[in-house]
Structure 1
Amino acid sequence: MVEAALKVVEGDIPSAAELVERARKLIPVLRERAAAGDAAANVVPETIEDMKKAGLFRVLQPKRWGGYEMSPKTFYDVQMALAEGDMSVGWIYGVIGVHNWQIALFDDRAAREVFENNPDAIIASTYMPKGKTEAVEGGYRFSGRWQFSSGSKHAQWFFLGGLFPGAGEGVPNMGTFLIPLEDVEIVETWDTHGLKATGSHDVIVKDAFVPDYRTHTHRQGFEIDSPGNAVNTGPLYRLPFGQVFLRSVSTASIGALQALLNEVIAFGSGKLGSFGGRTSENPFAQLAVAEAAATIADLKNTLYANFDHMERHAAAGTVPAMEDRLRFKYQSSEVASRCAGVAAKLFRVAGGSGLFLEKPFARILANIESGGQHQANSYELWGANFGASLFGAENQDIFL
């Protein structure tokens, strides 16, 4: 049986620390490849292969399909390490790697199609609900055009967002449709200020048939009652769908901020300013690096604490309180903005030298700024929703 052949045994699973170390060992080569990735608007294929060989994409993948079923905290630690080398790599690792978790929420027939012939299969996505659907026998006819499909050129499958037929007033019946590459056209549109190597191109689907079992609704993920829970019974797959995904598009900013901090300290330690003073002795520079280091620690601590809380609930078979879920989403959404604000101060420490493209400062800053443009990182929107709930308003958001 294919499933039995793919299933890993405990002795074959590396430790969390080993996986993070494998990611950290890639940092030098990721820095070397960064310019080539930016020029191609695509993370180079060698990097994808390196991550596969290191087992990094398997962190959240079900054991029964060749994965490791580890804590999301390990997943995000790997993501931050990769983002220290190149935030574009950390970004696509987050949004691709998290799909190996979401596929476990689908009917198991979907996971079988994805993994049975290739346990290293890659799923790209864009969850914007732009898909036009028509109910037909056994499933749906599905068409649309979507933006921002990160890592699309490396994918064999796609998660694409759409509204299910019959969605009415109130909370729309949004969800994810699993589409094979052969039904997808990739349109090269990605020419951007930052995150250039993510290759977040447009994708088009024209009248594809999607069987029922290759769909998953946001409501199922919100209620932690998905078809895949029947076979993937571990606590990992009883975490709220929205919470796991949201952190996949904010956490790379933390790793990139660490990279910028490292670069500024190394540069400033030996730099004399235009008027003879040492950067390392400038109190404003000292404050900037102190603020960056403290911000990184604060953001990591919040990430770990939030997932400790959710993992305890998952292990107990309970659901986190709505107020906690709203707060967790807001805290995730503000990561990119907080990192960008601190990164801008670090960039000033580099002075005029920071403007030169041969140095890493401007590129890292542009990447962090670009990460904040994702809707999931719109802290104003999600902060207002959290605040409104504290005032007693009824929450309508189910991507939590």
Structure 2
Amino acid sequence: MTSQLKNQNKNRFDQVLTEVRARRDEFEKKRHVPKDMIVQLKKMGVYRAHTPQCLGGDGSSPMEFLKLIESISEADGSAGWVASFGSAAVYLAALPGETLAKLYANGPDVAFAGGLFPVQPAERVNGGWIVNGLWKFASGCKGADILGVGIGTGEGGKPLTAVLRPEDVEIIENWEVIGMRGTGSHDLRVKDVFVPDEWTFVRGGTPSIEEPISQYPSIAYAAQVLAVVNLGVARAALNEISLMAGRSGITGAPKMADRAYVRISVAKAEAKLRSARAFFYEATESAWESILKGEDVSADQTSMLRLAAAQAAREGASAVQSAYLLAGTSAIYDGHPLQRYLRDAMVVTQHAFLNESMYDGAGSVHLGVQPIKGFI
């Protein structure tokens, strides 16, 4: 790539991030990222990053994609969260090859959203399934090109995901939450829709197209792409404190930058955040290097991916909390950036893939004890 083309891509990237920052209040008010913004994310390469290269994808590494989501999340956590589902191409690769060819027939930029839980029973019929049910937490569903819902049981006792068109799904707009309001993680309802077998897959199942990214641990990756959102949100929060530090307070007290406790707290938060981020990307690179060498990703490496994701989510939230506490009363008002950062960061830590059980699972692998089901 020429330096001129790199500059053009960077300028386009910066322009989209500027638009995300300018519209984040809109996302929060509407409680979803609008489709026209999804189009801009597509132009950034979010949804083609992991599309199979043989079908027009970019062949991006996990590190490249995660850093992309981290940058978007620094601009707005909800936009980063929605963009993170560009990683869905990794487990969509478990669809049959002919189905993937149809899916990407009009180009590699396909936005997926899924309400995979609770898994609902589906009626087995000739050639497929009759799907009915209600599913929760379908982040980004209002801007998705295709939607997935969890049904039945596939090979090895793992649930199947049925892929549907938006017109076959009713979106129940009930995303009434404190943080991550712009993700539009509404419920999905499906009534008597036939889904052919070839449009179902096991999440984490054997990919039909063998490319390096399809060998990456898909469930661990699903945790990583969410955890990295908090690295971006935390960076935004610490940047906000840096901006505030040179201003005088209303009480006439010294500027924040002139107070020792502020300097110490900022330094500690910075050190913890950078340490968690380094661990996060170190674990990612280790697994990716094994894949590029033609080796399997080990149980220990997968465990480290899950552990690093949980740690990144928590240290990110901790950094945001530190920033909020340092900001004093100014941060309690609606509209202050730290209000949003605090609310968004705490929502990330609540995700099932990032909760306290991840430490139990990682500790079990480290000590040679059977980990919790589904951890590796």
TM-score (structure 1 length as normaliser): 0.86
Stretches of structure 1 that go unaligned for 5 or more consecutive residues are 1-9, 221-225
Contact 2:116 2:136 in 1 (8 A): no
Contact 2:152 2:159 in 1 (8 A): yes
Residue of 243, 257, 265 corresponding to 1:288? 265
For residues 73-222 of structure 1, the aligned pairs below 5 Å read 73-95=63-85, 97-164=86-153, 172-218=157-203, 220=205
> Residue type matched to 1:62 in 2?
P
Quote the RMSD (CA, aligned, Å): 2.3
| Structure 1 residue aligned with 2:361 | 385
> Residue type matched to 2:312 in 1?
V
Shift of 1:90: 0.5
Structure-1 separation of matches of 2:58 and 2:322: 39
| Structure 1 residue aligned with 2:23 | 33
Does residue 361 of structure 1 match 2:338? yes
Q: Secondary structure, in 3 states, of the residue corresponding to 1:250?
A: helix
Contact 2:273 2:312 in 1 (8 A): no
Contact 1:164 1:173 in 2 (8 A): yes
Structure-2 separation of matches of 1:115 and 1:212: 18
Taking a change above 3 Å as real, the CA distance of residues 19 and 160 of structure 1, as seen in their structure-2 partners, is farther
Structure-1 separation of matches of 2:194 and 2:371: 34
| Structure 1 residue aligned with 2:296 | 319
Q: Secondary structure, in 3 states, of the residue corresponding to 2:121?
A: strand
Structure-2 separation of matches of 1:252 and 1:65: 28
Contact 1:177 1:210 in 2 (8 A): yes
Structure-1 separation of matches of 2:153 and 2:75: 40
Taking a change above 3 Å as real, the CA distance of residues 69 and 206 of structure 1, as seen in their structure-2 partners, is same
Residue of 40, 49, 52 corresponding to 1:50? 40
Contact 1:52 1:120 in 2 (8 A): yes
Structure-2 separation of matches of 1:176 and 1:287: 49
Contact 1:23 1:78 in 2 (8 A): no
Structure-1 separation of matches of 2:302 and 2:66: 18
Shift of 1:183: 1.8
TM-score (structure 2 length as normaliser): 0.92
Structure-2 separation of matches of 1:90 and 1:332: 15
Residue of 197, 216, 224 corresponding to 1:247? 224
Structure-1 separation of matches of 2:308 and 2:235: 19
Residue of 226, 238, 256 corresponding to 2:233? 256
Contact 2:164 2:195 in 1 (8 A): yes
Structure-2 separation of matches of 1:208 and 1:345: 49
Contact 1:30 1:86 in 2 (8 A): yes
Shift of 1:356: 1.6
> Residue type matched to 1:307 in 2?
T
Taking a change above 3 Å as real, the CA distance of residues 68 and 219 of structure 1, as seen in their structure-2 partners, is closer
Shift of 1:32: 1.4
Which of 21-30 and 66-75 deviates more?
21-30
Shift of 1:219: 5.6
> Residue type matched to 1:353 in 2?
S
Q: Secondary structure, in 3 states, of the residue corresponding to 1:357?
A: coil
CA shift digits 1:302-352 (9 cap, x unpaired): 222112111122123322221331232122123222211221111011110
Structure-2 separation of matches of 1:180 and 1:373: 29
> Residue type matched to 1:175 in 2?
L
Contact 2:276 2:311 in 1 (8 A): no
Stretches of structure 2 that go unaligned for 5 or more consecutive residues are none
Q: Secondary structure, in 3 states, of the residue corresponding to 1:207?
A: strand
Structure-2 separation of matches of 1:163 and 1:330: 30
Contact 1:20 1:74 in 2 (8 A): no
Q: Secondary structure, in 3 states, of the residue corresponding to 1:148?
A: strand
Residue of 338, 353, 363 corresponding to 2:315? 338
Taking a change above 3 Å as real, the CA distance of residues 18 and 161 of structure 1, as seen in their structure-2 partners, is farther
Shift of 1:20: 6.7
Among the aligned pairs, what percent are the same residue?
24
